[in-house]
Amino acid sequence: METKTYQVKGMHCASCASIIKKKLEKLEGVSSCNVNIATEKADIIYDFAKVGLSQMNEQILKLGYTLEGIEAPISKDETSSVKSESQAKEQKLTELEDMRQKTFFVMPIAATVFVLMMWEILSHRLVYLPTFPLSMDAFNRISFILATPVMFWIGKPFINGVVRFIKYRAANMDTLVGIGTLVAYTYSSIMLLFPEIKLLLNSPEGLYYDVTIVVIGFITLGKYLESKSKLKTGEAIEKLLGLVAKSATVLRDAIEIIIPIEQVVIGDILIVKPGQKIPVDGEISEGKSSIDESMITGESIPVDKTVGDTVIGATINKHGSFQMKATRVGGQTVLAQIINMVETAQGSKAPIERIADQVSAVFVPVVLVLSVMVFVSWVVIGSEYMALSQALSLGLISFVGILVIACPCAMGLATPTAVIVGVGKAAQNGILIKNAESLEKFQSINFVVMDKTGTITNGTPVVTDIEVVGHIDEKIVLQLLASLEKYSEHPLAQAVVEKAQIEKISLLSVSDFKAFEGKGLEGTIADTHYFAGNLKLADDLQINVDENIINKFTSQGKTPVVFATNESILAYIAIADTIKDDAKEAVSALHKLGIKVAMLTGDNKRTAKYIASKVGIDRVIAEVLPADKANEVQKLQDEGFKVAMVGDGINDAPALATADVGVAMGTGTDVAIESAGITLLGGHISKLPKAIRLARATMRVIKQNLFWAFFYNIIGIPIAAGALYPFTGIMLNPAIAGAAMAFSSVSVVTNSLLLKRYKI
């Protein structure tokens, strides 16, 4: 079994998606089919040996749908052009232009007829309104001339929907509109062309060509506006695709040549000049620069890079020139992985969407049956209380009104459009959401568990304090100590050497160097023998340490290093994993959202409590073995909390998978990122509250969309059926129902697009 994504042509509503899913899943070899109306794509899991694209198309082609194979935006093996995606967009733009032309043709007619129709209706009720300027016979004949091209040209998709329903018993939105308008047109034509039948039935003078024109006109306008809006929901992917570099300057045989990006291979030495896009992922081999990585991380401040640092394809080189070695190309690059993840997430379904799917699957058949039942009821029961001609007329209005107002477009668009916009906005802010389920779960999180190292802290030890004893200069202490430590591979030693490099202090030559495992080291510099190490080394040397300084360092979660000669201590150095600049701000923002925060770490309780107090964390879970981290998350869940786990290491993967939502730091391991539902690019913990705010806003929009979609049908269908007529004498005109139905879909998409303006 393999999963493949196909573009779907001919799909208009949630019922279309349901029909395609049912038909394809009946085929032998097809395991499952997930159709997304907003992206107009289908993810199909099937056995290539048993069924192929041609058989699947054969199953749905007769129903008006087509599957088209599409390539990934960037190939998984090599950088491919985005030709297939561009073709898909060009095809959509061509279809949109065709819809625009039809809309611009039909809307002046529909608007004029609508005004005349309302004038005729209101002139009987409002005495101050002038008498309708045309005789009803003249109005009917003009309407017939106008309605015919509208019905059979503009309304052709709806007629096709009726034909497919008769032949294959598959009904969608087009079927409902088609039956309603065709019945109104046919009834009116019979009454107009055969006056003797009209006289026999004593039919009302007014006919329903205006209903046909206005319903088709407004629904065509609605579909055009909806399609135009849906194009905007996918702008995030389009912008990401636009970031891909088109060419690269490569050094081959000591000659600079410009080649298409597709021809770059791993190991190539590339030259990147100021202002250029970095072609692919790689490592700087010569030179240094400042790089704008905002398109990946969402952070606007350029990052300084030098030899040995990694660079990301499609980011912008701001200042210096440098050479880089290509390490990842095509689908392996960070940008390609982001695009694939965002596309997958946008095409996925949130659990809340199942409600709309289940309703849509049975909605159209139920509406068809209901409309017939209402029509028959009006004719049979209504004729007991009024003339048959009046009952027939009211029954026809109800029949058409129910079919038109009940189209389930808004229901189908409610969730996927919001998910597409929400996931896209998150990606533009350096937040990757794996799927819609993670998005939905994330909005209900009320407890966040953070790993300490690499999440709250930077994950790299640095020198934080140098307490000098006596009159020796601090820089001299750092010079001597770093000269010794450069011979050690211990992380604490590296922290001292990096401190000296930052201070631009030159190092001295050392002789008689010796390391003591687990304690420290010694060496001679300019005829003086020096020692550097922990308290165990000080005990071995029988040197008395200042307990006040040691206690001060350890109470702050810092590791003390003693620097001494044979006779005395020269300085105390504190080394610690520093807290991230945005950690306190992130915890504070989470508290404002009503979320509690715990820190989970294998460190000792003293260090953990100190860091927790600095950041403002509610609960400390310290001295936890990597294997037990998932158990600690489970304990919080057992207390009734919805837990998000934030981590960056391999040992965090089980806890990330156990949590309701796992959040990986983008600087972490691939295993952690794979186990997580959400990834924060750049390792900025301040993005966590932003992600939660966006998830809550997205779910709020989804609930608003679903409420109005369901509420609209719950209220609209009974009114269209004539529920108000016995009490008020009011019937819902099908033309108004058509306008309301069309704009309900547009309002849902527009409401989703408002997420783009939401400040996170």
Classify 581 as helix, strand or coil: coil
Rounded Cα gap, residues 174 and 156, in angstroms = 10
The sheet that has 322-328: what strands, in order across it?
Answer: 255-260, 247-252, 269-272, 322-328, 281-287, 310-311
Closest alpha carbon to 436 in 359, 347, 354, 339 = 347
**Helix intervals (H) in 301-408:** 334-347, 353-380, 388-405
b/e 334-359 (16+ beta carbons within 10 angstroms → b): bbbbbbebbbbbbbbbbebbeebbeb
Helices 409-428 and 235-242, packing angle to 10 deg: 30
Classify 330 as helix, strand or coil: helix
Token reading at 692: 């939660």
Strand duo 289-292 + 255-260: pairing = unpaired
How far apart, in Å, do the first and last CA atoms of the chain sit?
Answer: 40
Rounded Cα gap, residues 184 and 186, in angstroms = 6
Segment (H or E) for 583: helix 583-592
Token reading at 38: 């907003």
Token reading at 426: 């998150």
66: which strand partners? 9
Burial degree of 74 (CB within 10 A; 0-12, 13-18, 19+): buried
- What's phi and psi for 247, nearest 5 deg? -150, 170
Active site residue 451: yes
Residues comprising the chain, all counted: 760
Closest alpha carbon to 285 in 306, 315, 316 = 306
Classify 466 as helix, strand or coil: strand
Residue 679 has what DSSP assignment?
E
Segment (H or E) for 716: helix 687-721
Burial degree of 522 (CB within 10 A; 0-12, 13-18, 19+): buried
DSSP string, 159-188: HHHHHHHHHH----HHHHHHHHHHHHHHHH
Amino acid, res. 187: Y
Report how far apart, in Å, the C-alpha atoms of 471 and of each of 213, 468, 476, 523, 569 are. 96, 8, 11, 22, 12
398 within 8 A of 721, measured Cβ to Cβ = yes
Rounded Cα gap, residues 304 and 292, in angstroms = 9
Max CA pair span of the chain = 126
Cα 374 vs. chain centroid, distance in angstroms? 43
37 within 8 A of 10, measured Cβ to Cβ = no
211 within 8 A of 733, measured Cβ to Cβ = yes
Burial degree of 8 (CB within 10 A; 0-12, 13-18, 19+): buried
Rounded Cα gap, residues 149 and 524, in angstroms = 100
Rounded Cα gap, residues 438 and 431, in angstroms = 12
Classify 623 as helix, strand or coil: coil
DSSP string, 200-237: HHT--S--SHHHHHHHHHHHHHHHHHHHHHHHHHTHHH
Rounded Cα gap, residues 319 and 52, in angstroms = 52
Report how far apart, in Å, the C-alpha atoms of 510 and of each of 27, 400, 513 are. 77, 95, 7
- In the set 268, 357, 451, 660, the catalytic residue is 451
What amino acid positions are annotated as catalytic residues?
A: 451
